């Protein structure tokens, strides 16, 4: 277990005597997803954010920005399915609907098998699209992103993703990680087989970079530090309660390292 995962799990289980781990994990993911999306959706989820925070006292609330800070650092160092890894390392699959996420090695193999065709398409087209009808925590998508990066491709300019999952927690996990990795995506909580949608939200980069318009006018534009752009943007909207988590996380440090 690497240092980031160890610290994240330590924080996640810090109040295990009072809360079930899956409760804290689910509330963290929902709170962060709301914080990242709220400025682009007129803060329509603010009441839901407040209801989550009211479950914890002020001291307990402090673990969320610290967990987010660890997540950001982990993804900056190595883009991978960090939240899925934490979910599985805490054995949450057994207690939460019997869910088990795709191992990293399988995701990387699957991505590698499809990447060559996508890269060939990009020699002729400005971008490619990806549909993931059962996205889980986004492992397959993130594995493909790594291949884009390794091949010198700009995944925000040259890839658009539509990710869907029947489970709300999975949708939130995918949304958070794709948002922080600068992926232009629509993440849907819904049932692919029955063609139903409960919620559909776009990642911040979709709005920040005016993705559709930008692809038409300047497909080769480079945007190197997406996480900093997103987090800096959130700092300016601190009057809304759900952005306190973002602002605090940007000041957090991993003291145990």
Type and span of the H or E element at 189: strand 184-191
Contacts of 225 (CB under 8 A, 6+ apart): none
Q: Which domain holds residue 76?
A: 3-100+230-249
Number of domains in the chain: 2
| Predicted model pTM | 0.84
Instruction: Classify residue 254: in a domain, yes or no.
Output: no
Summarised one tens digit per residue, pLDDT across range 103-149 is: 777 888 888 887 888 888 888 887 888 899 999 999 999 999 999 99
Residues 246, 159: Cα–Cα separation, whole Å: 26
Residue 118, pLDDT score: 83
Q: For the chain, what's the residue count?
A: 257
Asked whether residue 89 falls in the same domain as residue 157, the answer is: no
Instruction: Classify residue 257: in a domain, yes or no.
Output: no
Residues 95, 164: Cα–Cα separation, whole Å: 22
Residue 1, pLDDT score: 62
Helices (H) and strands (E) in the chain, counts: 15, 4
Residues 11, 14: Cα–Cα separation, whole Å: 5
Summarised one tens digit per residue, pLDDT across range 62-72 is: 999 999 999 99
Asked whether residue 82 falls in the same domain as residue 132, the answer is: no
Instruction: Classify residue 146: in a domain, yes or no.
Output: yes
Structure tokens at 237: 């909207």
Instruction: Classify residue 126: in a domain, yes or no.
Output: yes
Asked whether residue 139 falls in the same domain as residue 85, the answer is: no
């Amino acid at each position: 277990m690497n240092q980031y995962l160890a610290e994240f799990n330590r924080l996640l289980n810090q109040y295990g005597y009072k809360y079930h781990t899956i409760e804290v994990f689910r509330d963290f993911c929902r709170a962060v997803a709301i914080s990242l999306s709220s400025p682009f959706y007129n803060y329509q989820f603010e009441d839901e954010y407040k209801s989550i925070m009211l479950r914890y006292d002020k001291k307990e609330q402090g673990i969320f920005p610290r967990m987010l800070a660890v997540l950001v650092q982990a993804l900056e160092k190595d883009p991978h399915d960090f939240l899925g890894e934490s979910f599985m390392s805490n054995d949450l699959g057994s207690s939460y609907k019997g869910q088990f996420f795709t191992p990293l090695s399988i995701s990387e193999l699957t991505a590698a098998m499809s990447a060559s065709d996508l890269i060939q398409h990009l020699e002729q087209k400005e971008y490619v699209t990806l549909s993931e009808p059962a996205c889980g925590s986004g492992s397959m998508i993130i594995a493909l992103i790594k291949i884009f990066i390794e091949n010198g491709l700009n995944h925000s300019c040259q890839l658009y993703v539509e990710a869907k999952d029947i489970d709300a927690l999975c949708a939130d996990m995918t949304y958070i990680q794709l948002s922080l990795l600068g992926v232009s995506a629509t993440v849907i909580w819904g049932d692919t087989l029955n063609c139903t949608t409960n919620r559909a939200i776009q990642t911040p980069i979709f709005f920040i970079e005016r993705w559709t318009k930008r692809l038409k006018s300047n497909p080769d534009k480079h945007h190197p530090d997406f996480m900093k752009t997103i987090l800096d943007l959130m700092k300016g909207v601190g009057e809304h309660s759900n952005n306190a988590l973002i602002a605090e996380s940007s000041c957090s440090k991993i003291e145990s390292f």
